[in-house]
């Protein structure tokens, strides 16, 4: 299940909903991305005062659905949820939620890790950071590509 | 063809979307980008370094040799930074 | 932070508490273990009606604290929580919660995975399953040992 | 010495804890287990297969050659199955 929305989400409620009534679920894993106040690895730079997430309505939902289908094909998941916010967010705000539920912990953990890695390189979202010094578009990180690439190895799972 | 621009490509080109009719000979993503570059200084600035430009044709990522035709929805944007 | 308790826990509240007021947190990962109705890989066996978790008061807290310290030594965590329940639980009930918070998603994901793997082989808890056919102590799984051992490799992270 | 038993070791031995005075010569975990086996059929049954018995001395996991002394808290239990 995927959702792209402006509103915040309730992590505990979403996790409970994914396992409720399914006697096969033994492990539920969640990842929550949060807006940090600090610029990536730059101690001298000004603090982030806000973040605006732009997305490509239509393609975003489509790409997230494909990423979810890929995770379900690779791991025996009982349930799977990706919620990604757009619009203006402030430090401390939640940006993204990934939840995976499986009979076994390894499947839930690996699938959650896979989903957030793939989402970071394939889902059309763009961050614009505001600081006291002005606003700028966030540049993509090489680390995100390599994190996603490790799932390309056919023997990964 | 519908063209969509996102993030700094949108601000450099100065609009969010436009509808264009492809000239003869523009049948791939690569040819489309070369043609767009000629349309004005905003386009030229936005498309100066294609290593930071991603293209989607009908909402799927597409490489430079991917075919394009009138009726397609083509989006140009920087590498994604969600999550 | 570690807690051994009879009561249930509120996953969303625990996760929020771990990142609240800390501007460096960019990723919060949680693992929730849930009582399954089915016996491990045995489709013909009777469903589990209840589970009783026995523990070793004193040593349990001590081992969990050591496991947490090890995770904090290996990954740059901003916060870390392990809550493990004991007593009688029923299918669908939550057993264990692991939450990790870090500036970076990889650290939070890996540390969460490490904590649940180590906890499964080092924390003194024992499960007794009740089914319509009677009650029996759950045998340790070889898979748990090998899951924990992959973190022994000194080059792991 | 305080001895603690957990899970099926507790039910086979028939008690949760006991206080014993070590005889001379019992100075390691291994010697302690051999001595306990002689204390009755419940102990012998519980300690028949040591590959499924784990030992903690003063709340830390201990191997067969680990020293033991009066005053220690020694716990015997099966491989753990929490999480």
User: Mean of the pLDDT values across residues A127-153?
Assistant: 87
Q: Report how many domains make up chain A.
A: 1
For A94-121, write each residue's pLDDT tens digit: 999 999 999 999 999 999 999 999 999 9
- Considering the domain boundaries, does residue C114 fall inside one? yes
* Structural domain contains residue C157: no
For residue C122, the chain D residues in CB contact (below 8 A) are: 61, 80
Nearest CA in chain D to C116: D83
Question: Is pLDDT of A39 > 70?
Answer: no
Q: Which residues of B touch A144 (CB under 8 A)?
A: 83
Mean of the per-residue pLDDT values of chain C: 92
Q: Measure CA of the first residue to CA of the last residue in chain A; give whole Å.
A: 22
Does B83 fall in a domain? Answer: no
- Chain C neighbors of A127, CB-CB under 8 A: none
A156, with CB counted inside 10 A (0-12, 13-18, 19+), is: exposed
The total number of structural domains in chain D stands at 1
Tell me the per-residue pLDDT of D44-55, one tens digit each, with 9 for 90 and over.
999 999 999 999
Higher per-residue confidence, B37 vs A39? B37
Is B19 domain-assigned?
yes
Work out whether strand C134-137 and strand C125-131 pair parallel, antiparallel, or are unpaired.
antiparallel
A149 pLDDT tier (thresholds 50, 70, 90):
confident
- Report which DSSP code applies to A142: H
pLDDT band at A152 (very low <50, low <70, confident <90, very high): confident
| Domain with C76 in it | 2-37+46-152
What is the domain range of residue D26? 2-77
Instruction: Assign residue D29 the CATH number of its domain.
Output: 3.10.20.30
Residue B46 lies inside a defined structural domain of this protein: yes
How near does any CA of chain B get to the CA of A125, in Å?
A: 5
Does the pLDDT value for residue C146 go beyond 90? no
C99 to chain A: closest CA residue: A30
Residue B73 lies in a domain: yes
Q: How many CB atoms are closer than 10 A to CB C131?
A: 15
Question: Do the domain assignments include residue A95?
Answer: yes
Among A48-52, A140-144, B33-37, where is mean pLDDT lowest?
A140-144
Give ipTM to 2 decimals.
0.92
Structure tokens at A93: 């705000």
Task: Say which CATH number the domain at C24 has.
Answer: 3.90.1170.40
Strand partners of residue A84: A4, A96
The answer to whether the beta carbons of residues B64 and B30 sit under 8 Å apart is yes
Task: Look at residue C39 in the predicted model and tell me its pLDDT.
Answer: 63
User: What are D3-42's pLDDT values in tens digits?
Assistant: 999 999 999 999 999 999 999 999 999 999 999 999 999 9
Cα distance between residue C65 and residue C71, in whole Å: 10
Residue A157 lies in a domain: no
pLDDT tier for residue C155 given thresholds of 50, 70 and 90: very low
Q: How far is A59 from chain C (nearest CA, A)?
A: 25
Measured in whole angstroms, how far is the alpha carbon of residue A51 from the centre of its chain? 16
């Amino acid at each position: 299940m995927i959702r792209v929305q402006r509103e915040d989400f309730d992590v505990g409620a979403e996790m409970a909903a994914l396992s409720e009534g399914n006697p096969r679920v033994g492990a539920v894993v969640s990842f929550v991305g949060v807006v940090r106040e600090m610029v990536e690895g730059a101690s001298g730079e000004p603090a982030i005062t806000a973040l605006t997430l732009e997305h490509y309505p239509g393609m975003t939902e489509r790409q997230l659905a494909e990423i979810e289908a890929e995770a379900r094909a690779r791991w025996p998941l009982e349930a799977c949820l990706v919620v990604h916010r757009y619009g203006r967010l402030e430090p401390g705000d939640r940006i993204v939620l990934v939840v995976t539920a499986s009979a076994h912990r390894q499947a839930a953990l690996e699938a959650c890790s896979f989903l957030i890695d793939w989402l970071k390189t394939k889902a059309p979202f763009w961050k614009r950071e505001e600081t006291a010094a002005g606003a700028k578009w966030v540049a993509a990180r090489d680390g995100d590509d390599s994190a996603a690439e490790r799932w390309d190895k056919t023997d990964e799972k | 063809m519908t063209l969509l621009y996102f993030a700094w490509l949108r601000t450099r080109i100065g609009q969010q979307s436009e509808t264009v009719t492809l000239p003869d000979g523009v049948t791939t993503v690569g040819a489309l980008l070369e043609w767009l570059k000629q349309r004005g200084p905003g386009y030229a600035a936005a498309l100066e370094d294609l290593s930071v430009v991603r293209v989607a044709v009908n909402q799927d990522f597409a490489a430079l040799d991917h075919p394009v035709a009138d009726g397609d929805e083509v989006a140009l944007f920087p590498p994604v930074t969600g999550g």
